Amino acid sequence: MKTWLIASNNGGKSRDLAACLAYYGLRAEPYLQHRPQLMFPPETTTSYVANAQAKARFGAQRLGVPVIADDSGLEIAALPDFLGVTTARDLGTHVGGFDRNQEIITAMAALPNAHRQATMRATLAVAWPNGRVLTAQATVDGYVTRHQVGGYSGGFDRLFWLPRYGRTLAELPDQWRIPLTHRGRAARNLIQQLQQTKGSVE
């Protein structure tokens, strides 16, 4: 089975993406396990698709093999000018996941529960060294909690509450969590596209 490389310097995102892809039968590993670190160009657009494709193209060209890249973000209905595709830029890449979550919780402290709707959005892009690119997108809707809860996963999962399950994503083990997440759904969509393209998953 072919092992794909994940074009990212974000260890947490790479591990989660690898788990999501593995759940649907595609083996992937962070490129850093095999190659020296790359300096990816800074994200300069407000498009998930453009950002994911740019990272994937850069990785494929520099590494000389097909790679998978991710761009994702948290969108909060009550704070339309906050976060979204520029989540990392708005909160600062130097700020850790727990502190980023706390900034969001603090910004929403005065909002009633009914106005705490949020969407997590993910775009995955596969790029080949010849310039070919394939993308897949997915979302998950939920609410922002008032406290960080859960230890099965990290990042925004600790504050993203699913009403149907009465839990945050981070309170669900991977076998339940991955099919519900934005990145898990995008991984499923991406693999379905690859399977429809003869030879792409080999």
Q: For 163-175, how does the pLDDT look when each residue is reduced to its tens digit (9 = 90+)? A: 999 999 999 999 9
The pTM of the whole model exceeds 0.85: yes
Percent over 90 (pLDDT), the chain: 78
Q: Is 16 a catalytic residue?
A: no
Fold of 3-196: Maf protein (3.90.950)
Asked if the model's pLDDT at residue 95 lies above 50, the reply is: no
Asked if the model's pLDDT at residue 29 lies above 70, the reply is: yes
Q: Which of 16, 70, 71, 157 is catalytic?
A: 71
Asked if the model's pLDDT at residue 8 lies above 80, the reply is: yes
Per-residue 3-state assignment (H helix, E strand, C coil) for 75-103 = EECCCCCCEECCHHHHHCCCCCHHHHHHH
